[in-house]
């Protein structure tokens, strides 16, 4: 009885502390949000001028991360909404709506009157009601300098059949937040976690809310049992029975003044209902202890629901802060969680069947010619992890991990086999975090995201797909355009006058840089710096990475000369910034 009383007292104390912190954050954030509300209202006034739906073919969307990508419930389409882009000086937020036609491999932009305000780190879910509905909740808007944040608590629905946006105003919902997770479960939207941040304070959540899609009402759930600690960016999935699974996530806490400590969560929980998914049902938390091979600790991973009752996790980053450097491991691997078996396992590429046959026939021919006594035991096939370190000019170390699925004897392939493409290196997305995922007909689509080299952010706009039933190979649907990249140093901020509506600046500059690279053979040094051993060493250590990145995005059929040209253009963008 005494221990129980202490536990209850401790729990109530934690609740009071959390409530106190939330009031503190709310007070300090109020002034910031008032400043940003004026900017948001200005953008909304521009959106209000749209009076009709305009759908037009367009190039692939510009680079971005932290948007939402969902599969249309009735059509072979993917729907992209929102996101953000940072060019080193300014943060750009989007509320554009793009549609990707899977069969035609084409993009279109759909302009609909009165859309939600620009945002990123929101959550979206699709339900098949009335020809399809896309629901959007929360997210954040940032000031151009990225130092002030406005966290939304609004709820919107896009009626896909009529192409109309509608804001749903219902009381009793979650507070403003971003980095939360939301899933459609039976006839409810379930929201968990997230965070709210102001210039000086922040708070992470572990509360759970349900929005009823029939009555259009909010309810705050009060599950029994011990649930997850407050966090954002976790994996949230539903089971066929209507339960909720939570895995991982990130949070931080202040250990002393101006010193924060981040935590990468790797625990797993089940939120189970005892009823039929109604508001009055009782919910309960329980801890899950899955078997198999769990993902390595990371944040910024992306999630989706795959076939065969499996959820999946892709990419992410593991940052470690040292005294003088920040090391970040970016990933491009896939992990599956079998919901029925409560088991994790890594996804491994099997390779195309045609390649397998060629390898098998090639080994048989070699064995027949060499004889049994000369045959060497073939090493087992399996994924190969490549670790690359990129050292920026300021001494920052960036470690990038890439998993290459294929035979271990890859280095021993003959030149003729490489030219024939029979044993060519497999194409796959480069390591990244905060990408956007969607699954349609058992095929996983990966769009955009970002990775970092030193203190520079590389935002992506490529699109890949892989058949989750076969797991044979990645396909490049949209290549990355190096000219879409722009990075501006902070010292240039007073001289720049970029428009808030887009992030297309620097395209002409990139084109001229690429031409210079071609004309001068890539040997021209930045005019403000004399060439020395340090710069040469920096280039030599990064060139291999950029060529590999370019080849990964351009595909195995790209000519080597063109691959090198694109790689140099990409590298030059960062090199000029680093010197």
Asked if the model's pLDDT at residue 219 lies above 60, the reply is: yes
Say whether pLDDT at 64 is over 70.
Answer: yes
pLDDT, mean of residues 73-96? 95
Cβ atoms 67, 42 nearer than 8 A: no
Report pLDDT for 424: 52
Of 360 and 420, which is predicted with more confidence?
360
What confidence score (pLDDT) does residue 351 get?
81
CATH 2.120.10.80 range(s) for the chain read: 29-349+429-478
Residue 245: what pLDDT?
98
Residue 235 is predicted with a pLDDT of 97
Question: Quick one: pLDDT band at residue 502, thresholds 50, 70, 90?
Answer: very low
Can you give the pLDDT at residue 168?
A: 97
Kindly indicate the confidence band of residue 484, based on its pLDDT and cuts at 50, 70 and 90.
confident
Residue closest to 247 by CA, chosen among 204, 176, 192: 192
pLDDT tier, 528 (very low <50, low <70, confident <90, very high otherwise): very low
Over the stretch 248-285, which tens digit does the pLDDT of each residue have? 999 998 888 778 889 999 999 999 987 655 556 799 99
Q: Which of 70-84, 219-233, 495-509 has the lowest mean pLDDT?
A: 495-509
The pLDDT value given to residue 36: 85
For residues 245 and 406, which has the higher predicted lDDT (pLDDT)?
Answer: 245
What's the chain's average pLDDT? 78
The 10 Å CB-count burial string (b at 16+, else e) for 303-333 is bbebeeebbbbbbbbbbeeeeebeebbbbbb
More confident residue, 409 or 348: 348
The sign of the torsion formed by the CA atoms of 30, 33, 34, 35 equals positive
Phi and psi at residue 465, to the nearest 5°: -145, 155
Of 17-31, 120-134, 373-387, minimum mean pLDDT range: 373-387
- Pick 47 or 193 by higher pLDDT: 193
At 16, the pLDDT band (50, 70, 90 cuts) reads low
- Residue for token digits 């901020």? 493
Calpha distance 301→266 (Å, rounded): 12
User: What is the per-residue pLDDT for 371?
Assistant: 45
pLDDT beyond 80 at 309: yes
Asked which of 128-137, 160-169, 191-200, 340-349 is least confident by mean pLDDT, the reply is 191-200
pLDDT at 322 over 80: no
Q: Band the pLDDT of 501: cuts 50, 70, 90.
A: very low
CB 356 within 8 A of CB 304: no
Structure tokens at 147: 């130092």
pLDDT, average across residues 11-23: 56
Lowest mean pLDDT among 264-268, 412-416, 567-571: 412-416
Task: State the residue for tokens 């995005």.
Answer: 553
> Mean pLDDT lowest for which of 175-189, 363-377, 494-508, 542-556?
494-508
Element holding 12 (H helix, E strand): helix 2-47
What superfamily in CATH does domain 29-349+429-478 come from?
Kelch-type beta propeller (2.120.10.80)
Exposed / middle / buried, residue 383 (Cβ in 10 Å: 0-12, 13-18, 19+): middle
- Better pLDDT: 131 or 359: 131
Q: Which residue has the tokens 């280095």?
A: 411
pLDDT of 453 over the 90 cut: no
More confident residue, 113 or 537: 113
Query: How far, rounded to the nearest angstrom, does the alpha carbon of residue 157 sit from its chain's CA centroid?
Result: 23
pLDDT at 531: 33
- CB 493: neighbour CB atoms within 10 A? 14
Question: Tokens 């879910």 label which residue?
Answer: 125
Res. 415: pLDDT tops 80: no
At residue 258, the pLDDT reads 76
Q: Which residue has the higher pLDDT, 309 or 381?
A: 309
**Beta-strand relationship, 291-292 and 343-347:** parallel
pLDDT reported for residue 290: 97
Helices marked H in 72-128: none
Which pLDDT band, with edges at 50, 70 and 90, does 216 fall under?
Answer: very high
Lowest mean pLDDT among 90-99, 111-120, 462-471, 537-546: 537-546
Proportion of the chain above pLDDT 90, given as a percent? 51
Please report, rounded to a whole number, the percentage of residues in the chain having pLDDT higher than 70: 67
Tokens of 2: 């005494």
């Amino acid at each position: 009885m005494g221990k129980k009383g202490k536990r209850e007292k401790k729990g109530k104390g934690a609740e009071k502390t959390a409530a106190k912190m939330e009031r503190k954050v709310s007070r300090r954030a109020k002034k910031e949000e008032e400043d940003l509300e004026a900017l948001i209202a200005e953008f909304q006034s521009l959106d209000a001028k749209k009076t009709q739906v305009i759908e037009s073919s367009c190039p692939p969307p510009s680079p971005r991360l932290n948007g939402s990508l969902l599969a249309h419930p009735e059509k072979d389409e993917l729907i992209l909404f929102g996101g953000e882009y940072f060019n080193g000086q300014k943060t750009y937020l989007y509320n554009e709506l793009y549609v990707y036609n899977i069969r035609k491999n084409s993009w279109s932009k759909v302009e609909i009157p009165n859309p939600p305000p620009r945002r990123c780190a929101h959550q979206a879910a699709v339900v098949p009601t009335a020809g399809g509905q896309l629901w959007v909740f929360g997210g954040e808007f940032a000031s151009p300098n990225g130092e002030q944040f406005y966290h939304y608590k609004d709820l919107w629905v896009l009626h896909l059949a009529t192409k109309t946006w509608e804001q749903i105003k219902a009381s009793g919902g979650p507070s403003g937040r971003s980095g939360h997770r939301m899933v459609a479960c039976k006839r409810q939207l379930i929201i968990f976690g997230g965070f709210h941040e102001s210039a000086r304070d922040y708070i992470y959540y572990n509360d759970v809310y349900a929005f009823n899609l029939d009555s259009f009402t909010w309810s705050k759930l009060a599950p029994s049992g011990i649930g997850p600690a407050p966090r954002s960016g976790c994996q949230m999935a539903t089971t066929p029975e209507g339960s909720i699974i939570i895995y991982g996530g990130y949070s931080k806490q202040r250990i002393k003044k101006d010193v924060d400590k981040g935590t990468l969560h790797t625990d797993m929980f089940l939120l189970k209902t005892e009823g039929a998914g109604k508001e009055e049902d009782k919910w309960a938390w329980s801890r899950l202890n899955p078997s198999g091979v769990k993902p390595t600790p990371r944040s910024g991973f992306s999630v989706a629901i795959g076939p065969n009752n499996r959820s999946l996790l892709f990419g992410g980053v593991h940052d470690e802060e040292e005294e003088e450097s920040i090391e970040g491991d970016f990933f491009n691997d896939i992990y599956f969680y079998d919901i029925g078996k409560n088991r994790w396992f890594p996804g491994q590429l099997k390779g195309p069947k045609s390649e397998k046959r060629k390898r098998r026939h090639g080994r048989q021919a070699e064995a027949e010619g060499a004889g049994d006594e000369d045959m060497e035991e073939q090493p087992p096939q399996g994924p190969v992890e490549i670790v690359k370190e990129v050292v920026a000019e300021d001494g920052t170390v960036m470690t990038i991990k890439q998993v290459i699925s294929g035979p271990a004897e890859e280095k021993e392939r003959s030149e003729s086999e490489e030219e024939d493409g029979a044993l060519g290196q497999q194409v796959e997305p480069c390591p990244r975090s905060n990408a956007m995922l969607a699954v349609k007909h058992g095929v996983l689509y990966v769009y955009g995201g970002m990775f970092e080299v030193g203190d520079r952010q590389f935002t992506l706009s490529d699109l890949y797909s892989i058949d989750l039933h076969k797991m044979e190979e990645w396909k490049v649907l949209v290549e990355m355009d190096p000219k879409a990249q722009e990075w501006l140093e902070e010292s240039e901020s007073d001289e720049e006058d970029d428009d808030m509506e887009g992030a297309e600046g620097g395209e002409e500059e990139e084109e001229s840089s690429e031409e210079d690279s071609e004309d001068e053979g890539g040997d021209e040094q930045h005019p403000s710096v004399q060439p020395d051993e340090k710069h040469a060493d920096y280039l030599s250590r990064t060139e291999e990475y950029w060529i590999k990145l370019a080849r990964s995005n351009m595909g195995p059929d790209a000519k080597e000369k063109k691959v090198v040209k694109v790689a140099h253009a990409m590298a030059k963008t960062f090199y000029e910034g680093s010197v």
